[in-house]
Chain A
């Protein structure tokens, strides 16, 4: 109301007296680009025919890590932590480390292009606690021995706001206009969640744990992975559209999936696996850790402390599992690296290609579009003036169409408004994502920028006047979907991670979920496996006492 009045008056006056002093310049010409194009074309070279050649330059390393995402960097970090002395070479095709957790540059500081938060780890989640302690994120402990986290990394309040009924309200629950029935179902849902959170399986492990490998393998619980989340909610009588919207938000946010394309087990996992182990938990407002520019800060921290030789712009073309030979294109040259052990920290479709064999399991992955918007300020819309995460509520749009809103990259700098950079997230949630993926990868910048601004026009009415730049980043295979059936039998996913000759596998996909906790767990696990295979000291394992049976077999 306030804004539209102001603009109306301005518009009328400016129309009448063109060029009069004080008239707003109106929407600015749009500036920006498609980012990551170089990366995409490099990655596509992977699918070009490849013939291993003799007579190329040969290098040697004891361990080669392929892929410089969170999984690869965590593997390198774990080797260093064990005091491993041999040469470790990490090869990353992109010009930047981090993969789906990388940050970009956004005018006033780093910006999130992919992952932008991690949760405070559970007590049993020792590998993440070890990483966080090493990165200086744990700054003390309370009298009960629970760790205290760096206040600068704990997400400032208010964390979330929702645009509903023409204004921003606190939190994610679409409270405006909710009926008594909506509220009753929500209460029942919260009560049910708290039961699941403390449910223990027949094997004595929590029903839902992070990392997933520590979750119970009790078949009675794993049966939840068979039905779709939608069918399960139907059967339990959760029919309130608002409640389902809020639950589905979680699926879209973590998996790029709808209630239909998520299993009930995974859907519950999202809500029930987090039991933060933290000092003075009652005082905590949140369990979210975040940094300016998102998880790129974790990537930087790992890269600094991992002790490996980090080579970017290095596209691995072929890996020979039996001999440990790795062919890599770097600086316009094909090089052969001879390694004692190889850790493949790349998506499973890429490992299949590198090893020149079919993938043991086909996974569904969701494409994501991330837009980075540089603003020279913004006028707070009606309601809650600002939050870290600003989410639209648009019941007219289908789950496939709707976006997740935007996070404020400058939030942790405590500016509460003013010039900043937003990262706007849109997972493409169609059941079969391939058409959406092709459309995303082939759309031009203009069209994409327009689509993003169209989605943001309600909650940020004066955005066009403040927008200095909008860049678009497309993830063709952003997140793996925990489709129905994927988690029923833990051995299904474990097949992706079986040791092959000298090769160990590490990637978040091996958990059937894309999360920092999972990616780093697999990196740490692969490194521990490699150390064992090399006969090098491993030191105390970081995998958690209750390591899942499927992975223990490895």
Chain B
């Protein structure tokens, strides 16, 4: 074994103290990784245990690798320390960036955790070997490991109770990176070595500290800008299907579903939305038996539909198998729709509603006669038309095709965006349905999570007479239902174009509406 530089024999308490700091920082990085993983990927138990497993095994690997480091142990120790400071300190912002920009986030997450773990794993063996020369092994192991475990305790208390609430995830991880880098710099003053070596190590430390400090300053505004919606409440489930990003949050009895960052419902008031979407249409026909739901893969609308004993079958067409399957299979979610999607009367089809209606236009040879396949009530519950793929579901072509799916005397109800926030879009949908030959009755309801929300009820003749509402509704009664159809002057109809596949006027109107709204 080669000799260490002169002066390495001044290990002192100072180096022991750094064992404490190292241990604290090491655990903090692990906690940050676990928190990020469960934040971003959902399913915290799995994520935490995978992160801890990866981290610990990487530490083991790092400890083993320490046997290959022979020369200039103190300098190596400083270098490892600086690497930990940099990679660990920037862990949270980098992971977030990777999540946003890389589809391979999951693997990169483990790669980064592994890297940090391995570096942290190198630290203690190096330290023990440096100190070994002046203290007996017995003493040394006892002290170092004691400080290591105490440091871990400190971290586990400081992280959730002090750092996270004060600094947020980004700045917490950077702050500990700074502490790490500080220890490294300090260490260079504890031993003597060739001045060139010391100079190099100090410059490196200064560089790392400057980098971390500048990211620390920038991190505040960045973190503040992150989608406030998404991170307002703890994320309990997150998934990305080929079609959309799905996020569920939960806090104090309020579960919220977000698709591509847009709120779909909040359990505090979704009953207002779904009762308003479903019951005017369901009570506008006598004894509705066949119901088609387009969109609405969360099963909430179907839940309302199944309140009617007359219903014999319900077909639900939703693009995304991920949505319909989590709302069928995950107990906490199917509790919200009262297991409506598992009801024997309900058939779930995962298809693009446009393609589905087009396919119906030309029934396959040998298929049941088309009249078997029409519906008394069709409920259309698509996301708002903020892109052309969704805009096509509100076009003259779409609403004309819809006609073939509706039985004699049947009705349609369409979610039509907000007559308050996006009035041009709302009235464009209404106008487009009229142009496609429907007799329409626009209506609206107040849903606190969304504001004033709009729908269009339509039939081949205007649906004006309503039957009795089912039992157990929380929002609608006969009087409220009548009031929905009244539009006060500030929600009055406005003129504009018709939405067609060849102009997609609605997408533009919707965008303009929201831009105008945000300016207010």
Chain A interface residues toward B at CB < 8 A: 2, 5-6, 9-10, 13, 17, 20-24, 151, 154-159, 283-286, 385-386, 414, 416-417
Contacts and interface: CB of A to CB of B under 8 A. Distances in A.
A138 to B, nearest CB: 16
Given A22-B103, A157-B500, A283-B497, 12 more contacts: A5-B101, A6-B102, A13-B111, A20-B108, A20-B111, A22-B102, A23-B104, A24-B104, A151-B397, A283-B435, A385-B388, A417-B389
Contact of B504 (A5, A23, A158): A158
B502 A21 contact: no
14 contacts: A6-B101, A10-B102, A13-B111, A22-B102, A22-B107, A23-B104, A24-B104, A151-B501, A151-B502, A156-B501, A284-B500, A414-B354, A414-B392, A416-B387
A404 B388 CA distance: 24
Interface string B378-418: 00000000011100100001000000000000000000000
Contact of B502 (A5, A9, A20, A285): A285
B388 A285 contact: no
Contacts of B497: 283
From DSSP, what is the main secondary structure of chain A's interface residues? loop
A286 B387 CA distance: 19
B261 interface: no
A496 B103 CA distance: 61
Interface string B492-520: 00000110111111000000000000000
Interface in B85-126: 97-98, 101-104, 106-108, 111
A154 B388 CA distance: 16
Interface in B470-504: 497-498, 500-504
Nearest to A284: B502
B502 A286 contact: yes
B501 A154 contact: yes
Q: Which of B392, B502, B503, B505 has the most CB of A within 10 A?
A: B502
Nearest to B109: A22
- 3 tightest A-B CB contacts, nearest first: A22-B104, A285-B503, A6-B101
B199 to A, nearest CB: 27
Contacts of A20: 107-108, 111
B98 A285 contact: no
Contacts of B504: 156-158, 285
Contacts of A157: 388, 500-505
Contact of B498 (A151, A154, A283, A416): A283
Contacts of B387: 385, 416
A294 B10 CA distance: 82
Contacts of B98: 9
B114 to A, nearest CB: 10
Contacts of A154: 501-502
A339 to B, nearest CB: 43
Nearest to A17: B111
A417 B387 CA distance: 11
B102 A9 contact: yes
A255 B98 CA distance: 48
Nearest to A386: B388
Given A20-B111, A416-B387, A285 B505 contact: yes
B104 to A, nearest CB: 3
B388 A158 contact: yes
A286 B107 CA distance: 47
Contacts of B108: 13, 20, 22
A151 B102 CA distance: 39
B128 to A, nearest CB: 29
Contacts of A9: 97-98, 101-102
A22 B104 CA distance: 5
